[in-house]
Amino acid sequence: MTESTCRIERPVHRSTSVVFSSPHSGRCYPSDFIEQSLLNEQEIRSSEDAFIDTLFARAPAQGAPLITARMPRAFVDLNRAPDELDPALIGGVRKSGHNPRIASGLGVVPRVVANGRAIYRGKISLDEAKARVDQVWHPYHDGLQTLIDESRSLFGHAILIDCHSMPHEAIDCVSQPGFPRPDVVLGDRFGASAGQNIIDRIEAVFTNAGLRVVRNMPFAGAYIVQQYGRPSRAQHAVQIEIDRALYMDEARIVPNENFAGFQKLIDEVIVDICDIGRIEHKMAAE
């Protein structure tokens, strides 16, 4: 794994089984990538989970490692399988079966950003796509797997918190007239990626922090929680989607006036989630 493609920040003392991951907050855009794109530097950032790595930066201080992407989602999507290659974008790839993510342009090398805006003027080569997967995707997942394996070795179990943000309008479909909009969506693949007690405790953490929470709608969790969530092996994975409007100006992609206060709230959330990992370890040891 190279520091140029992702960053792992380890605690001085690993005191919890929890691992935090931020795969979509990368913002190191290669100049040649920008040059081959139809979009300008502002437009291409629209699918980025901006500032999520900053919001969760205190995790190592609470005893949990944090792995963050440096390369952007528009370049390589780390929350997709490495073989989700889009034949509409990548030359030499044959269409095989129906994959809704690929069909919508959101494969491992995305064809579009938010609102379906095309990234490229034409196709890219299969060699280029494979090089991105080799140089960016694999190092991130090798690092993530190492952190999970370490937690299982140290504590007998692992809890992966996969951290994301969502556009404010993304939750319109689950908002009911006359009721408050959800602030956070927790995804556990409808119970497949995390034990019931784990997801219940995580939901309670956000609720106790004053945030409104729903589960699995409209985001149940993508490749990362599907791949690493193995409750039967004491390996739990939960995807967290946070409404961007709570802390940033989505149009300008800058922190808003609420950012500092919201970061303090997330600091408290991190403390309580890390405690879940300690409680699980203590219960297993008794």
pLDDT tens per residue across span 194-237: 999 999 999 999 999 999 999 999 999 999 999 999 999 999 99
Percent of the chain with pLDDT over 90: 87
Rounded CA gap, 164 and 185, in Å? Answer: 10
Mean predicted confidence (pLDDT) in 149-161 = 97
Query: 1 falls in which pLDDT band (50, 70, 90)?
Result: very low
At residue 41's C-alpha, the angle toward residues 37 and 47, to 5°, is 85
Contact 181, 211 (CB under 8 A): no
Q: Tell me what the pLDDT averaged over the chain comes to.
A: 94
pTM of the prediction? 0.94
Mean predicted confidence (pLDDT) in 237-262 = 97
Encode pLDDT of 90-122 as tens digits: 999 988 778 899 999 999 999 999 889 999 999
Residue 227 confidence (pLDDT): 98
Query: 2 falls in which pLDDT band (50, 70, 90)?
Result: very low
Measured in Å, how far apart are the chain's first and last C-alpha atoms?
37
Encode pLDDT of 41-61 as tens digits: 899 999 999 999 999 999 999
All structural domains of the chain with their residue ranges:
6-79+130-285
Q: Which CATH architecture has domain 6-79+130-285?
A: 3-Layer(aba) Sandwich (3.40)
Contact 257, 198 (CB under 8 A): no
Contact 21, 164 (CB under 8 A): no
Which two tokens mark 73? 């989602």
Tokens 């100049």 sit on residue: 31
Query: 181 falls in which pLDDT band (50, 70, 90)?
Result: confident
